[in-house]
């Protein structure tokens, strides 16, 4: 179940040596996905001494399974954000996304990564008013957006909000090119943290500051991320001889469908569910494709996992109030492309001691008093009290068997394990010995 991005770059994919002995650096980055690589790129460009460690190969986990839409439209969030946080904070969030898009545009001029300017659409199957309010909210924030009555995809929508001149690209072609000259160590797993020292399976790394870019943060002692996030699983199939659409489309409902083309292939995504729960999986996508694209053939299919925050804003900044030299980037809410670039720009400033106007918007220490907190608490309590085995080594929740993917999944915090107990997705860092 490899994504279409892997097939296109496997022969030219760079590899990096494992750490060999002890090292010292000013900034240690843990995690080699898009966020970690972009942080290393930005810091290196600013002349900061840094290095990145990845337990496997860079970009082989969540990053390789993205649909790679570069857009400021993150579902229908701006109308809600204005009501919750006001115009100024919402405007700052929007401006951060615009800066990220502009940076991709600048970098992709010199990188062959199939970068294309595309319009972005968020549609609703049931609620026209939601769409109209979102278009109005975007325009209030200074982003030109319009309501579109009809969209060229086979769903009975009530309309869509459109933003022009967004983008899509081949994420791995882009990332593997900018990573070639970065100080990266693959096959290097952090096993323990001591004061200013990261113990790995290949040696110790002394550091002044550290960025945790491991998708779901692995340190439970600080920050309370196991309360502030849950994980959501979604699916993609790549269809040959299907519809050619001009743009990127996504349902405002997190269980809905997304559409984009890559060259002559249609990427149909969706059928999502909370990790550890039941969902439509690939069968739902295959059923939709069979009905609407009967002549199409499936050439690839894959799944991905996203960290969902309490208020749909990522956590980017100081890991917790009590850890001034520890930073984090997580909780991208399915929008990892712009969120990762925002992370790199924001964190590179913070680790260099510079002020950044967006820091308060993404602060991991902002209030956790949101309805989703109580849902997360409830799921954790159920998982902990369920008496069945096997258990997740992260915090001890009962695992659920995922028949479609032949894995054991944690409904509390989203860790996943194969049928032999080997860890597939964090926050768990160790294998499950109870499987």
> Where are the domains positioned within the chain?
4-66+173-227+312-362, 371-425
Whole-angstrom distance, CA of residue 312 vs CA of residue 307: 10
CATH 2.102.10.10 fits 371-425, yes or no: yes
Compute CA distances 358 → 176, 289, 342, 343, 363, whole Å: 28, 41, 9, 10, 9
Per DSSP, what are the bridge partners of residue 261?
266
Burial class (CB in 10 A: 0-12, 13-18, 19+), 142: exposed
Q: How far is CA 184 from CA 15, 17, 30, 48, 117, in A?
A: 9, 8, 10, 14, 31
Q: How far apart are CA 314 and CA 97, in angstroms?
A: 12
The two counts, helices (H) then strands (E), for the chain are 11, 21
Is residue 128 left, alpha or beta, with left meaning phi > 0 and alpha meaning psi from -120 to 50?
alpha
Tokens (6 digits) for 161: 């909000």
DSSP-derived secondary structure for 197-244? EEEETTEEEEEEEEEE-SSS----SSTTHHHHEEEEEEEEEEEET---
Q: Which fold has domain 4-66+173-227+312-362?
A: FAD/NAD(P)-binding domain (3.50.50)
CA distance 246 to 165: 12
407, 416 contact by CB (below 8 A):
yes
Q: Report in angstroms the alpha-carbon separations of 118 from 113, 161, 168, 260.
A: 15, 14, 7, 10
Give the whole-angstrom CA distance, residue 89 versus residue 93. Answer: 6
Closest of 421, 423, 401 to residue 411, by C-alpha: 401
Place of tokens 């600080």: 222
Q: Which of 351, 353, 305 is nearest to 40 (CA)?
A: 351
CA dist 201 → 197, 226, 341 (Å): 13, 25, 29
Per-residue pLDDT of the chain (435 residues; tens, 9 = 90+): 789 998 768 777 888 999 999 999 999 999 999 999 999 999 999 999 999 999 999 999 999 999 999 999 999 999 999 999 999 999 999 999 999 999 999 999 999 999 999 999 999 999 999 999 999 999 999 999 999 999 999 999 999 999 999 999 999 999 989 998 999 999 999 999 999 999 999 999 999 999 999 999 989 989 999 999 999 999 999 999 999 999 999 999 988 999 999 999 999 999 999 999 988 899 999 999 999 999 999 999 999 999 999 999 999 999 999 999 999 999 999 999 999 999 999 999 999 999 999 999 999 999 999 999 999 999 999 998 998 889 999 999 999 999 999 999 999 999 999 999 999 999 998 898 888
């Amino acid at each position: 179940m490899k994504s279409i991005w892997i097939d296109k770059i496997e022969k030219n994919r760079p590899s990096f040596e494992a750490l060999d002995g002890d090292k010292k650096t000013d900034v240690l980055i843990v995690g080699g996905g898009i966020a970690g690589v972009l942080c290393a790129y930005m810091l290196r460009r600013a002349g900061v001494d840094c290095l990145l460690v990845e337990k496997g190969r860079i970009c082989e986990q969540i990053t390789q399974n993205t649909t790679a839409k570069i857009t400021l439209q993150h579902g229908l969030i701006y109308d809600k954000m204005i009501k919750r946080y006001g115009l100024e904070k919402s405007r700052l969030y929007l401006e951060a996304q615009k800066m990220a898009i502009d940076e991709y545009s600048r970098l992709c001029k010199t990188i062959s990564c199939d970068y294309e300017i595309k319009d972005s659409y968020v549609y609703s199957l049931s609620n026209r008013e939601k769409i109209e309010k979102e278009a109005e909210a975007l325009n209030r924030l200074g982003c030109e957006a319009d309501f579109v009555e009809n969209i060229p995809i086979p769903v009975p929508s009530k309309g869509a909000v459109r933003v022009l001149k967004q983008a899509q690209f081949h994420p791995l072609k882009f990332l593997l090119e900018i990573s070639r000259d970065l100080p990266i160590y693959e096959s290097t797993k952090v096993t323990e943290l001591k004061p200013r020292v990261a113990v790995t399976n290949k040696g110790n790394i002394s550091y002044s500051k550290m960025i945790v870019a491991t998708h779901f943060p692995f340190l439970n002692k600080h920050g309370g991320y196991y309360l502030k996030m849950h994980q959501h699983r979604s699916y993609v199939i790549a269809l040959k001889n299907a519809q050619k659409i001009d743009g990127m489309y996504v349902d405002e409902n997190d269980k809905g469908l997304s559409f984009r083309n890559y060259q002559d292939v249609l990427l149909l995504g969706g059928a999502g569910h909370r990790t550890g729960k039941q969902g439509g999986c690939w069968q739902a996508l295959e059923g939709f494709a069979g009905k609407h694209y009967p002549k199409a053939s499936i050439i690839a299919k894959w799944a991905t996992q996203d960290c969902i925050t309490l208020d749909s804003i990522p956590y980017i900044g100081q890991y917790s109030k009590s850890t001034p030299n520890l930073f984090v980037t997580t909780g991208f809410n399915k929008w990892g492309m712009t969120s990762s670039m925002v992370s790199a720009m924001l964190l590179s400033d913070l680790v260099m001691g510079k002020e950044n106007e967006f820091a308060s918007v993404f602060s991991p220490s902002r209030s956790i008093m949101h309805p989703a907190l109580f849902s997360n608490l409830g799921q954790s309590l159920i998982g902990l009290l369920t008496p069945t085995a096997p258990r997740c080594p992260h915090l001890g929740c009962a695992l659920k068997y995922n028949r479609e993917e032949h894995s054991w999944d944690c409904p509390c915090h989203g860790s996943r394990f194969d049928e032999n107990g080997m860890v597939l997705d964090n926050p768990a860092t160790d294998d499950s010995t109870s499987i």
